[in-house]
């Protein structure tokens, strides 16, 4: 038996939805907590399956972790053991690789199985490994495991060939205890990196330059032994997804608990195609459109450019724009599997990697589709809301990896949305 999501399309959305804490922050913040020697309380934790997998990994390392309430985690690493991380939980999520930087930084040794996650084409971790080597670590690969070791980590100047979020965070975590100064050039500038560095600084690290392309980490002998608290930033990709859903189907909808500055590239594109909106200090209100949507061109870029994670749901919306839109993917060039699923629903998208040519406006009809990855799932939910009839989405575990309480949030907005077990 498999669980599927079913959506009856054509129902207008209205009301208010509150955005949860950032998935991409959370999956790095939890491993970052093990660098410390004192309990940490994290607020605004989204209720997603990746968090459950990370809690499992913490317990394997003998880190005490307790869910205080729906959005609060208490993590105490004082009795932690550094053991090889080879369980199935490692394979369930890509973010397990953050334990490489955290364990190498704290213990000078880490053994970890190749991490899992959504397949979006080649996603090598060579930048992470080069960074660890620059700090003085030796790396071997045996029986499907990376073994990282350093008797002592020494600060160094590291240039990233690509401004990778994962590599920036991982090297930053390893460098917290390194002797001397580490400078990461061409560092990623995403808000999530600022969030993780903010927590590490609260713990006693010395990190400067967050939000710029030059990150400076002055190594410390030890982090504080007294605990601290941290609230996670709102999830800008969840916010973008609901804003796109509102642009597709809302009469009047408010998306609250957002940082509009994090969404500028997406909001500008929505205005360009003809969406009416009001942007407040911590909310975005979308008003039902009263004219045809215009086609556009999208080029995904590292932050502050158009987020690759928002490309897939936005493509679903562009099926309703009159004319040809061009979506070019520069981050994960294979991120077009959603297009084949959308075509099953009646879209007319011609994929010529690294671009997709979206020919609109097309009528979408509900059918059986597969969420091949997390954001493909989001695109199919957007399409299902717009389609005539019932859309049945398979492999919904991908969606549950990144969207907190999707069912109730959508139903509260007026969507007809449910789950069923099918053979």
Long-range pairs, 112-117, Cβ under 8 A, ≥24: 112/84, 112/85, 112/86, 112/145, 112/146, 113/85, 113/86, 113/87, 113/144, 113/145, 113/146, 114/144, 114/145, 114/146, 115/90, 115/91, 116/90, 116/91, 116/92, 117/93
Residue 329 phi, psi (nearest 5): -105, 115
**For residues 333 and 118, what is the distance between their CA atoms, to the nearest angstrom?**
14
Q: Is 404 annotated as a binding residue?
A: no
Q: Is 61 annotated as a binding residue?
A: no
Q: Is 23 annotated as a binding residue?
A: yes
Q: Is 5 annotated as a binding residue?
A: no
Active site residue 118: yes
Marked catalytic residue, from 118, 228, 339, 376: 118
The gap from C-alpha 403 to its chain's centroid, in whole angstroms, comes to 10
Q: Is 58 annotated as a binding residue?
A: no
Q: Is 331 annotated as a binding residue?
A: yes
Q: Is 84 annotated as a binding residue?
A: no
Q: Is 395 annotated as a binding residue?
A: no
Contact between 245 and 381 under an 8 Å Cβ cutoff? The reply is yes
Residue 374 phi, psi (nearest 5): -55, -55
Q: How many residues in total does the chain contain?
A: 423
At 76, is the secondary structure helix, strand, or coil? strand
Query: Which letter does DSSP use for residue 227 in this model?
Result: -
Q: Is 385 annotated as a binding residue?
A: no
Q: Is 125 annotated as a binding residue?
A: yes
- Catalytic sites, residue numbers: 118
The annotation places the binding site for UDP-N-acetyl-alpha-D-glucosamine at 94, 123-127, 309, 331
The annotation places the binding site at 23-24, 94, 123-127, 309, 331
């Amino acid at each position: 038996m498999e669980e599927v999501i079913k959506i009856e399309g054509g129902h207008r959305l209205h009301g208010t939805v509150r955005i949860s804490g950032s998935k991409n922050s959370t999956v790095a913040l939890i491993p970052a907590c093990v660098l410390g020697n004192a309990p940490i309380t994290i607020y605004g934790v989204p209720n997603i399956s990746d968090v459950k997998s990370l809690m499992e990994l913490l317990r394997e390392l003998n880190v005490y972790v307790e869910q205080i309430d729906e959005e609060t985690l208490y993590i105490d690493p004082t009795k932690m053991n550094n053991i090889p991380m080879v369980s199935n939980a490692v394979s369930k999520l890509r973010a397990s690789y953050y334990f490489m930087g955290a364990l190498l930084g704290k213990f000078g040794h880490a053994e970890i199985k190749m991490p899992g996650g959504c397949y979006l084409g080649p996603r090598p971790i060579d930048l992470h490994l080069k960074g660890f080597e620059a700090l003085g670590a030796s790396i071997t690969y045996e029986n499907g495991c990376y073994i990282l070791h350093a008797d002592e980590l020494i600060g160094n100047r590291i240039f990233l060939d690509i401004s990778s979020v994962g590599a920036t965070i991982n090297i930053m975590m390893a460098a917290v205890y390194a002797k001397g100064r580490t400078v990461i050039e061409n560092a990623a500038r995403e808000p999530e990196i600022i969030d993780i560095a903010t927590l590490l600084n609260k713990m006693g690290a010395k990190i400067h330059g967050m939000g710029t392309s030059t990150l400076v980490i002055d190594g410390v002998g030890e982090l504080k032994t007294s605990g601290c608290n941290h609230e996670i930033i709102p999830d800008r990709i969840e916010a973008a997804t609901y804003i796109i859903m509102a642009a597709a189907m809302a009469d009047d909808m408010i998306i609250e608990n957002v940082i509009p500055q994090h969404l500028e590239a997406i909001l500008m594109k929505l205005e360009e195609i003809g969406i009416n909106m009001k942007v407040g200090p911590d909310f975005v209100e979308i008003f039902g459109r009263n004219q045809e949507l215009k086609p556009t061109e999208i080029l995904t870029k590292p932050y502050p450019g158009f987020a690759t994670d928002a490309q897939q749901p936005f493509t679903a919306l562009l099926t309703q724009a009159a004319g040809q839109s061009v979506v070019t993917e520069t981050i994960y060039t294979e991120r077009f599997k959603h297009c084949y699923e959308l075509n099953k629903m009646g879209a007319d998208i011609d994929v010529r990697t690294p671009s997709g040519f979206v020919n609109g406006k097309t009528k979408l009809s509900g059918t059986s589709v597969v969420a091949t990855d997390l954001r493909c799932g989001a695109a199919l939910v957007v399409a299902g809301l717009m389609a005539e009839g019932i859309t049945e989405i398979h492999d919904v575990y991908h969606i549950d990896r990144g969207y907190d309480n999707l069912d109730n949030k959508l139903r509260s907005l007026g969507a007809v949305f449910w789950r069923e077990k099918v053979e």
